Amino acid sequence: MAEPQKPAASPSNVTTVADYVRRVAESAPKEAVAIALAEAEREKSLAVKAESEYRSLSEITFDDKGRIEHANMAGLWRLAKIYAYSAIVPEHYRVIGNDGRRDESKVNDCFIACQMAFRLRVDPFAYMQASYVVHGKPGVEAKLAVAMLNVSGKIRGRVRYEEERDPKGAMTACVAFATDAETGDKVSARVTWAVAVAEGWVDKKGSKWKTMPELMFHYRSAAWLIRQFYPEVLMGMSFTDELEDAPTTTVSAPARTLNELSARLGVGQANGNGHHAGDVPTTAQRPSGQTEEPAAATAKQPDLKPTETRKSAVRVRHEELLAKALAIGLSKAEIAEHCAAVGVASLDQATPEQLDAFEKRLAEVEALQSQE
């Protein structure tokens, strides 16, 4: 009886189209080439369709003053990419710096800047020109905040100033004031030279209080006026001058061993019994009748291993890359294809090296989108 022949390979009994092409390449090379070309065309069509769908989902409109009137997340992300690849935004928002280096994370910064401009009802470009990150916190220049208050409708007219000078003409104080639109009351904030000296603004390295005191008086008094009477204008954001003048603090890393914790707590000073607070009494030091503690209780505690910390960092990065892939318009199928290209079935199974390769592929996709 003849032995039954094995069924020919077909797309239904192989894992992927690429696997099928490899199997039939030797026996039917023409068929393999045709299938490969058809698959490439299909992938290209899917990419075009995904890009079209992404663009159709992007919603953003502006008013006659250049302010964002309506936008969804996809729309803000597209706008952020436009700004990030522009040469006329400040360097701290550009993907390509003055030294030619690329930093794709600047797109994320531009996205947040666009979001803040949307919330503050200002032109995104104007916001980027007057916003900075100081000591890890975002802040805006006082001139932008004053402009925002002037057009907010919360005051009548504009912010005005009253200057106080000594007999020699040197400015000693400044009062920023305005008329509240709701109550008609005059609101004001006063800053004096004595306050500037006491707060350390004058003697700080690079301070402009010695070279242009009038301008600094105006900016700081207006900042106090806004902070005290109209905090909603900035929605809790700080002024760059305030952040620069604020003292920086250093946060120590957590203690990882008992000995290190004892040292940080100042343990080791003698107590009333002549022992040190961090010491474990020996057998000779223990009161009579007290049994010796198990060795496990007195043994030196081992250092905490960073394995769990590394795993947590990988999980966080996996989630960030997945969110970024979705934000730039990749479908689940396309994400799976990029995962396969770096040698992993899904992102949650990827090693740090595979995540690096996946992030590089995302950067290439973004570069292609920006060119279009």
User: Residue 191 in 3-state DSSP?
Assistant: strand
Per-residue pLDDT tens for 106-136? 999 999 999 988 888 889 999 999 888 877 7
pLDDT of residue 197: 92
With contact defined as beta carbons under 8 Å apart, do 223 and 234 qualify?
no
Per-residue pLDDT tens for 353-364? 888 888 888 888
Token couple for 193: 């030279």
Residues 275, 260: Cα–Cα separation, whole Å = 19
Residues 56, 329: Cα–Cα separation, whole Å = 11
221, 225, 222, 200: which is closest to 210 by C-alpha? 200
pLDDT of residue 127: 92
Residues 363, 104: Cα–Cα separation, whole Å = 7
> Please, which residues bridge with residue 175 across strands?
162, 190
DSSP string, 209-241: TTT-HHHHHHHHHHHHHHHHH-GGGTTTPEEHH
- Domain positions in the chain are 12-50, 61-129, 149-235, 328-372
The H helix count followed by the E strand count for the chain is 14, 8
- pLDDT tens, N- to C-terminus, the chain (372 residues): 444 444 444 444 545 767 777 777 777 888 878 888 888 888 888 887 777 766 667 788 888 888 888 888 888 998 999 999 999 999 999 999 888 899 999 999 999 999 988 888 889 999 999 888 877 778 888 889 999 999 889 999 999 999 999 999 999 999 999 999 999 999 999 999 999 999 888 888 888 898 999 999 999 999 999 989 998 888 767 677 666 655 554 445 555 555 665 565 555 444 444 444 444 444 444 444 444 444 444 444 444 444 445 556 667 777 778 878 777 777 777 787 888 888 887 777 888 888 888 888 888 888 777 766
User: Residue 307 in 3-state DSSP?
Assistant: helix
